[in-house]
């Protein structure tokens, strides 16, 4: 979030990006961690009493505006955004056609989803819901688009009527006949520029709107008399993966594990042989290896490959300028993922280049203890991500360390690599974890300018079979790629942790070996042997 006043300007971001912001944002901006001071608070302190602050009503939601309103800041919506007119050589918008996401990957017919969502809206006495999250629309209609890098989204809005009619507001040329025919009469496609008009003209009396995703401009099109605030009815069912999506996720993670394990072996081999490689080369190698896997579409985000101090920048993206040679002793953090048509992956492994220090090992092992605590956690139904977040931090806290990001985010099914409503962080205290949710398990530790450690696997929340008075949940780790035995101080692990490590790697070996090149298979076998020795 950036705020520009006449005399001064400020840039706000969270703990994941403050280091990067200091490097990349022009010096005329003050840089603030939004956890320390929110933009609204800064503005309340800095702007004069009679100031009027302009904003783009297509870029802000009611939820985003709330703190400004509460701080009694006068806000003025603009009819056009001045940055749009200043932005020269702006890349053209995507014109990619949407495609159907077939039943063998979605596991549920769009008609069935639509009827269920309509029933939910009717139970809330709504006549329609204005869907303003592109991933909700793609999930509901079983379609995928090509409008955004790394996520197969079709951009637009959709008005879903409880009469069964769907008005899709998007670039009309993006919707091919296959999709139009499938939905027949119930679907009408209107151009984005006519969104306000279409919504104004719709005949529904009670229209649901989610204030966390609906632009102010569209809320005004709905108008106060028709508008009912509520949660996007697709968000929760989208998060609860059905059996086909769960199996798809398992399959995608095994193929992704093959690519990542080949990558990890390649890095170790290449650096050990004295050949110099760079962070950029690693990023390219990851794409090359994933591209060989079935159903791979694209990376699920721009890979984070950070060596030594670059690894401490939580959401680091290597550029030609920052690109670093991976040589000498240090830690290499690699956070990457793939969009496969049967599932979305997101995985982080941290490996030692050369000889790790004792500090590296202590920190890696404590991050690992947190990762294992979460992977092994059993918890009663009704538990939120905020409650189990602590399990991932406690081993670090015990020696005065912590990390300045959440422990986990929801992940879609060939959709967003970040999706709600669930999460594992101190802010996730409203949503109980439920079977079928996929969420990341990614504790870390970062020492500015020195090194970064993160261990991330995706986990699937499942019902536990443990005998108990009330239902308990647990998780199944989906991510299938080895950890780094040479970074582990086994003296810090208890027996249950060592057993988990061995069993996990035994499972990784079982799932990957047949698909790995022989040398990589042997390399993985040697790793499994090390974990076996550790567990005895």
- Contact residue for a copy of itself among 389, 419, 442, 497 (CB under 8 A): 389
The least CB distance from residue 464 to a copy of itself, in Å, is 7
The least CB distance from residue 382 to a copy of itself, in Å, is 9
Of 64, 455, 162, 447, nearest in space to 53 by CA:
64
| Piece of the chain touching a copy of itself by CB under 8 A; list 55-63, 139-147, 187-195, 396-404 | 396-404
The footprint of a copy of itself on residues 451-470 (CB under 8 A) is: 464, 466-470
Alpha helices in 25-61 (DSSP H): 39-46
Helix (H, G, I), strand (E, B) or coil at 80: coil
Contacts of 235 (CB under 8 A, 6+ apart): 133, 136, 210, 420, 421
- Contact residue for a copy of itself among 333, 391, 487, 508 (CB under 8 A): 391
The least CB distance from residue 163 to a copy of itself, in Å, is 26
The least CB distance from residue 115 to a copy of itself, in Å, is 26
| Piece of the chain touching a copy of itself by CB under 8 A; list 23-31, 107-115, 399-407, 436-444 | 399-407
The footprint of a copy of itself on residues 424-453 (CB under 8 A) is: 426, 429
- Contact residue for a copy of itself among 386, 458, 478, 481 (CB under 8 A): 386
Pairwise CA distance, residues 343 & 246, whole Å: 8
- Contact residue for a copy of itself among 326, 377, 411, 424 (CB under 8 A): 377
Helix (H, G, I), strand (E, B) or coil at 515: helix
Of 423, 419, 422, nearest in space to 407 by CA:
423
Binding mask 400-419 for a copy of itself (x = CB under 8 A): xxx-----------------
Pairwise CA distance, residues 429 & 441, whole Å: 17
384 belongs to the binding site for a copy of itself (CB under 8 A): yes
**C-beta atoms surrounding 485 within 10 Å:** 18
Beta strands 227-229 and 207-209 are parallel
378 belongs to the binding site for a copy of itself (CB under 8 A): yes
Q: What is the dihedral of CA 423, 424, 429, 435, to 10 degrees?
A: 60
Question: Is residue 86 classed exposed, middle or buried when 0-12, 13-18 and 19+ CB atoms within 10 A define those classes?
Answer: exposed
The least CB distance from residue 369 to a copy of itself, in Å, is 13
| Piece of the chain touching a copy of itself by CB under 8 A; list 8-16, 392-400, 452-460, 518-526 | 392-400
The least CB distance from residue 485 to a copy of itself, in Å, is 23
CA 304 to chain CA centroid, nearest Å: 13
- Contact residue for a copy of itself among 29, 55, 58, 472 (CB under 8 A): 472
387 belongs to the binding site for a copy of itself (CB under 8 A): yes
380 belongs to the binding site for a copy of itself (CB under 8 A): yes
Alpha helices in 78-133 (DSSP H): 82-86, 103-106, 110-123
Question: Is residue 203 classed exposed, middle or buried when 0-12, 13-18 and 19+ CB atoms within 10 A define those classes?
Answer: exposed
Of 242, 254, 249, 282, nearest in space to 112 by CA:
242
- 293 or 390: whose CB is closer to a copy of itself? 390
- 111 or 404: whose CB is closer to a copy of itself? 404
The least CB distance from residue 483 to a copy of itself, in Å, is 22
Positions in the binding site for a copy of itself (CB under 8 A): 373, 376-380, 383-384, 386-391, 394, 397-402, 426, 429, 464, 466-470, 472, 494
């Amino acid at each position: 979030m950036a705020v520009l006043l006449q005399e001064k300007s400020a840039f706000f971001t969270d703990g994941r990006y403050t280091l990067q912001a200091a490097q990349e944002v022009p010096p005329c901006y003050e840089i603030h961690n939004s956890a320390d001071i929110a933009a609204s608070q800064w503005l309340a302190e800095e702007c004069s009493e009679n100031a009027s602050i302009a904003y783009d009503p297509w870029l802000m939601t009611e939820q985003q505006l709330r703190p400004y309103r509460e701080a009694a800041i006068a806000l003025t919506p603009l009819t056009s955004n001045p940055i749009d007119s200043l932005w020269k050589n702006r890349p053209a918008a995507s014109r990619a056609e949407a495609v159907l996401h077939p039943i063998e990957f979605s596991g549920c017919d769009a008609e069935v989803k639509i009827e269920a969502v309509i029933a939910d809206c009717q139970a809330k006495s709504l006549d329609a819901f204005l869907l303003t999250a592109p991933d909700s629309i793609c999930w509901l209609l079983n379609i995928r688009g090509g409008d955004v890098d790394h996520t197969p989204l079709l951009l637009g809005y959709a008005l879903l009527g409880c009469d069964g009619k769907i008005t899709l507001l998007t670039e009309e040329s993006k919707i091919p006949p296959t999709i139009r025919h499938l939905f027949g009469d119930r679907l009408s496609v209107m151009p984005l520029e006519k969104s306000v008009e279409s919504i104004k003209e719709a005949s529904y009396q009670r229209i649901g709107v989610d204030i966390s995703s609906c632009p102010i401009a569209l809320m005004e099109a709905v108008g106060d008399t028709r508008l009912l605030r509520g949660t996007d009815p697709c968000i929760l069912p989208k998060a609860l993966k059905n059996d086909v999506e769960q199996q798809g996720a398992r399959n995608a993670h095994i193929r992704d594990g093959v690519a990542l394990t080949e990558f990890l072996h390649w890095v170790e081999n290449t650096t050990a042989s004295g050949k110099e490689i760079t962070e950029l080369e690693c990023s390219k190698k990851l794409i090359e290896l994933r591209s060989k896997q079935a159903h791979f579409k694209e990376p699920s985000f721009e890979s984070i490959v950070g060596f030594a101090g670059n690894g401490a920048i939580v959401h680091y993206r290597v550029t030609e300028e920052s690109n670093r040679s991976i040589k000498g002793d240090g830690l290499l953090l690699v956070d990457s993922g793939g969009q496969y048509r049967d599932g979305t992956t997101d995985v982080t492994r941290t490996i030692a280049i050369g000889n790790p220090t004792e500090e590296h090992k202590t920190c890696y092992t404590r991050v690992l203890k947190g990762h294992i605590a979460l992977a092994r956690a059993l918890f009663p139904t009704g538990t939120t991500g905020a409650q189990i977040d602590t399990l991932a931090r406690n081993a670090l806290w015990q020696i005065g360390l912590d990390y300045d990001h959440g422990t986990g985010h929801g992940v879609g099914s060939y959709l967003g690599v970040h999706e709600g409503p669930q999460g594992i962080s101190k802010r996730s205290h409203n949503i109980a974890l439920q079977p079928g949710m996929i969420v990341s398990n990614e504790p870390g530790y970062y020492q500015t300018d020195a090194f970064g450690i993160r261990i991330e696997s995706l986990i699937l929340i499942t019902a536990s079979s443990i005998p108990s008075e009330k239902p308990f949940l647990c998780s199944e780790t989906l991510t299938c790629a080895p950890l780094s035995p040479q970074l582990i101080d086994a003296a810090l692990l208890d027996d249950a942790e060592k057993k988990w490590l061995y069993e996990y790697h035994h499972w990784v070996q079982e799932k990957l070996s047949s698909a790995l090149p022989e040398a990589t298979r042997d390399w993985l076998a040697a790793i499994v042997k090390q974990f076996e020795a550790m567990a005895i």
